[in-house]
Each structure stands twice: as C-alpha cells, then as structure tokens.
Homo-oligomer: A and B are copies of this chain.
Amino acid sequence: MHGETTLDDPFDINGDTLREECGVFGILGHEDASALTALGLHALQHRGQEAAGIVTLDGDQFRAERHLGLVGDHFSKAETMARLSGMSAIGHVRYSTTGETVLRNVQPLFAELEGGGISICHNGNFTNGLTQRQQLIRDGAICQSTSDSEVVLQLIARSRETKIVDRFIEAITTMEGAYALVALTPKKLIGARDPLGIRPLVLGDLNGAPILASETCALDIIGATFIREVENGEVIVCTPTGIESYFPFGKRPARPCIFEYIYFSRPDSIVGGRSVYDVRRKMGRQLALESHVDADVIVPVPDSGVPAAIGYSQESGIPFELGIIRNHYVGRTFIEPTQQIRNQGVKMKHSANKPIIQGKRVVLIDDSLVRGTTSVKIVQMIREAGAAEVHFRLASPPIRYSDYYGIDTPVREKLLAAKYNLKEMCNYIGADSLSFVSIDGIYKAMGYEGRDNENPQFTDHCFTGDYPTPLTDLHGEKDLVKAPRLVEAS
C-alpha cells in the first residue's frame, strides 16, 4: 500500500515515497474482455494513478481508449466498454512525473504493421532505451512518445523477420534492463519478462481465457485462477489453441526486485510464492528482533507501515495502536495555504491521535526512508502531540542508490542514507532513536538465512549498489537526448 500523493505537497507526510511506474494486464478470448481489463487495472491502480489505457481487438480492428486519470474516472461506463468491443484486450496503468504526463505517453502503444497491427504495454525500464532511441532517429524513425517503451515497438516495426513472435523476440533481445511486457496482435496475446525477472508478471485463467497481469490481485478481483508466474526471460505466447513458451536468453536464475515485497505489490498479492502481507509482517518482526526499544505503543505510518507495525507489535508485545489518523476524503487537489497557515503546520492528509500519543514512548514504523523530508514532519507531529519519546523504525535497509529499472527514485544526492550516517539521519529526522532492518534481515523475512552475496536471490541495488544489468544510457554517450524536443500540453 502506498499513497496517491504528488511530489512536494507540503502537507503530505506520504510524499516521500518511491513510485512504481506501471501495471499491465491482458486477456485473450473472453466476451467481457474490456470490462475484465478495466477491473484488472483497477486492482493494479496502486502501481500507477496518473493514466490508464485499454486496447481491444475486435476482428482485425484495434480499439483504444487512453486517458489521464484513474481507471474509475474513465473506464466506468457501459458505453465506454461498448466502444471497446472485442474478445481480447490489454491495458496499462501508469505513474509518471509531472511534465511528461501527456496523452501521447499513455499506453498501450500501437503500431500498424503490414499484415495487421500490434499493441504493447510495458512495466519497467530499459537501461539502453535512450541509446536505442537515438539510433532509431538516426535511421529515420519518428518517435511520437518520449517513453522508452516506444523503442521496442519501433524495433518490432523495423524487424525483417516475418513472424510476429520472431519480430518481438528480435526487439526484446536488443533491449537491456527490466520489463514485463504484454502485447496484443490479431491472433496472439504475448507476454515477456526480462532475463532476471526484475519486474513481475503472472499467468492466470478465467474459464479458459488466458490472462497476464502484474500481480495476482488482478486475478482475484475477477475471480480468475492463478496458474503460475511467467518465468524470468520467458516469452509466453497465448493463442486460442494453446500457450507456447520461448526462452530467447536461455534459462538462468531469477533475481526479482525486492521492492515488490517491501513497497509496491498489494499486500493481498502472492509474489514469488510469498504473501506480500506476510513478508511485510515478518520484516516487522525481524525489525523488532534487531532493534528492540522499551516503549508503550507501536504506531504505524498509515497505510504503508501497518503490516510491519503489526509484526513488530506481535514480536515485541508492545500494543499496536492507530496513533496517526488518515483523512480518507483528501482527493487529489489540495487547499493552497497562505504562508501563515503553512507555518502553522497544517496537515491535510493525516493527523496525530493525541490521546494515544500523549505521554507515551512511541515506536513509529514505516516501510522505507527515501529523502526523509516527510519523516521529519511525522516525528514533529508526534512530538507536538505530546509523545515522551519517538523511536523511528524502518522495515527495510537504508536506501543508498538510485533505481534504473522502473522505480522512480530521487537522484542519489537526495537520498538521506546516501548523504548521512545513522546518527546524522536520526538527528535530521529528530527522533530519539532510528533503526533499519539489516540486509540479511530482509532476506531472513523472505525465508533465507541471509543474502547470498555470490548469487543474490533478489535485485537489491537500492540498498547494496549491486546493479544486475549494464546501465548503458547512464554510462554511454554524453549527448543522449534525454528530454523530448517537443513539449506538449494537452
């Protein structure tokens, strides 16, 4: 669970979070294809709240609706579903940073090919996307979007292979980085996961119709059966007559992103065979074991800290209480304060539950610490509510490195743990004590004895700096065009 908040909302104590960039969904051969896709995307809404799109296939005709805003804002009406006719569909939810949230970047993307068309959705990030894009432009391609996802589509269009699956494989083998891709062609629903399986993708089934989705919660909402995870490096091709698998990169051990457990996936999803909720609670237990403190009350930062706080409470025996109340009617707009009001420390989204806090030794539990800007405010709010002591506990290790695989992290200079040591961090946020769970601790919560440093079980570079793929764009040509040459308001 995480918040729907925009950056730099001064009232927002959840503003300092990581953000996933996307969720994907696809279904082949079901008469309610578009409505089921809308429901699936709704369940994946935590992975992207800024835009949503669905493309269906009705005979040879693709039909698209792409909108800025929530799934429920644009895909709630029967008439929309009627326009999205057809037995197959793919869909996408997207988080994007301000300025790039324009319609041309909303997925699914589409290309008309000679024998038909292809539409694709992408969750993840290509670490050589800009490099490839530059080469494509040199070769005369027109890139409409500023999205790295379009590069795959351009490569598919330019492939000299004749079969669509071969074209798809040729394209993805050109790319590096992290991806869960879902594609729709006139005859096939195709899914693919990067060689390390960094981004998640699962296969499900609803009355014989195969489904691909970022998380199992998207299967649950429509009553579909979970079949299995798409494997790392697998290209899975669903047709009306069956499912085929390709492994163009060969088989090798997976290394999925550990942040799916810590932060991104919904607590009721099963990822890699583990309950996300259960993992988070165990991280809370591990945290209690590693950093005990005498206290009166365990208070979660809502809502992302709740499962870890429950675990911490269960392990430590200190009571769990809702010491911070979340305002459920916030919406996505905020009251612009005068400077005077701003100085009064108004909180729009949360408030301290004073009677629970007053005079107590409080252990605050959150899932992660990024820039620390909002942790400062939380600690201050709890102190102002009269806490005797404030101990800050994080159910993940310090984040010291940026991500390049589809998680929106600040530049390294803004990561609190990249700038400061533990004591400095504790001073910065103003707590009486500060502790993180250890690296080995989170591996223990995952069921291992610890991190296998030779062959790490997870992608965990944010904590360790151990990037599992080349970072071509980052280290390559200096003059890569990183910003779009066209700024569009629409």
Q: A-side interface residues toward B, CB under 8 Å?
A: 1, 3-4, 31-32, 35-36, 38-39, 42-43, 45-46, 49, 55, 60-67, 70-73, 75-78, 80-81, 83, 103, 110-114, 116-117, 119, 134, 137-138, 140-144, 153-154, 157-159, 217, 220-223, 266-268, 270, 275, 277-278, 281, 303, 306-307, 310, 314, 319-322, 325, 327-338, 340-341, 344-348, 351-356, 481, 484-490
Asked if residues B344 and A222 are in contact (CB atoms below 8 Å), the reply is yes
- A85 → chain B closest CB, angstroms: 10
Evaluate whether A345 and B223 lie within 8 angstroms (CB atoms) in the complex, with A157-B140, A157-B141 already known: yes
Q: A473 to B61, alpha carbons, bound, how many Å?
A: 22
Contact of A268 among B72, B266, B270, B354 (CB under 8 A): B354
The 8 A-B residue pairs with the shortest CB-CB distance, nearest first, are A140-B158, A275-B355, A45-B329, A223-B344, A72-B331, A76-B333, A268-B353, A117-B485
Whether the Cβ atoms of B486 and A63 lie closer than 8 Å is: yes
19 interchain pairs (CB within 8 A)? A42-B327, A46-B328, A62-B487, A66-B488, A72-B331, A73-B333, A76-B333, A77-B336, A112-B143, A114-B134, A141-B142, A142-B154, A142-B157, A144-B144, A220-B351, A222-B344, A268-B325, A275-B356, A307-B322
**Residue among A36, A70, A138, A142 with the highest chain B CB neighbour number at 10 A:** A142
* A48 and chain B: residue at smallest CB distance: B329
The residues of B that contact A111 with a CB separation of less than 8 Å are 142
What are the residues of chain B within 8 A of A281 when measuring CB–CB?
A: 321
Q: How many copies does the complex hold?
A: 4
Closest B residue to A109 by CB, please name it.
B142
**Residues of chain B lying within 8 A (CB to CB) of residue A36:** 341
Asked if A137 contacts B113 (CB within 8 A), the reply is: yes
**When the two chains form their complex, are residues A485 and B310 in contact, meaning their CB atoms are under 8 A apart?**
no
Contacts of A61 in B (CB 8 A): 485-487
Q: How far is the CB of A201 from chain B (nearest CB, A)?
A: 20
CA distance A223 to B303 in the complex (A): 24
* Complex: A114 Cα to B336 Cα, angstroms: 36
Are B355 and A277 within 8 A (Cβ)? yes
With the chains together, A146 CA to B82 CA distance in Å?
23
What residues on B are CB-neighbors of A329 within 8 Å? 4, 42, 45-46, 49, 70-72
Q: Roughly how many angstroms separate A267 CA and B46 CA in the complex, as a whole number?
A: 26
**A303 to chain B: closest residue by CB:** B328
Task: Report B-chain residues with C-beta under 8 Å of the C-beta of A268.
Answer: 325, 351-354
Given known A103-B490, A143-B112, A347-B221, contact A320–B322 (CB-CB < 8 A): no
Cβ 8 A contact of A221, one of B65, B143, B346: B346
- Is A335 a contact partner of B39 (Cβ separation < 8 A)? yes
The distance in angstroms between the C-alpha atoms of A303 and B306, with both chains bound, is 13
Report the Cα distance A172→B347, complex, angstroms: 36
Smallest distance from the beta carbon of A345 to chain B beta carbons, Å? Answer: 6
**Contact partner, A488, options B65, B112, B144, Cβ 8 Å:** B65
In chain B, what residue has the closest Cβ to A334?
B76
Given the complex, which residues of B lie within 8 Å of A320, measured CB to CB?
310, 320
From A144, which residue of chain B is reached at the shortest CB distance?
A: B144
Residues B314 and A310 in contact, CB atoms below 8 Å apart: no
- A43 in contact with B333 given A112-B142, A223-B345 (CB within 8 Å): no
Bound state CA distance, A351 and B276, in angstroms? Answer: 14
Q: In the bound complex, how far is the Cα of B310 from the Cα of A222, in angstroms?
A: 31
Chain B residues whose C-beta falls within 8 Å of the C-beta of A277 in the assembled complex:
322, 325, 353, 355-356
Tell whether, in the assembled complex, residue A70 and residue B352 are in contact, meaning their CB atoms are under 8 Å apart: no
A353 nearest CB neighbor, chain B only: B268
Closest to A102 in B: B64
CA distance A466 to B332 in the complex (A): 43
CA distance A334 to B73 in the complex (A): 8
A278 contact set on B, CB distance < 8 A: 355-356
Contact A64 B341 (CB under 8 A): no
- Further contacts, 15 of them, CB under 8 A, given A66-B490, A117-B485, A275-B355: A32-B341, A61-B485, A62-B485, A62-B486, A64-B488, A71-B329, A140-B158, A142-B144, A142-B157, A222-B346, A223-B344, A223-B346, A267-B353, A275-B353, A281-B321
A490 contacts across to B, CB distance below 8 A: 65-67, 103
State which of B103, B140, B307 has its C-beta within 8 Å of the C-beta of A103: B103
Check if A78 sits within 8 Å of B336, measured CB to CB.
yes
Neighbour of A335 across the interface among B76, B103, B153, B220, CB < 8 A = B76
A39 interface neighbour in B39, B62, B307, B346, Cβ under 8 Å: B346
- Neighbouring B residues of A60 by C-beta, 8 Å: 485
**A49 contact set on B, CB distance < 8 A:** 329
Q: Which residues of B contact A80 (CB under 8 A)?
A: 489
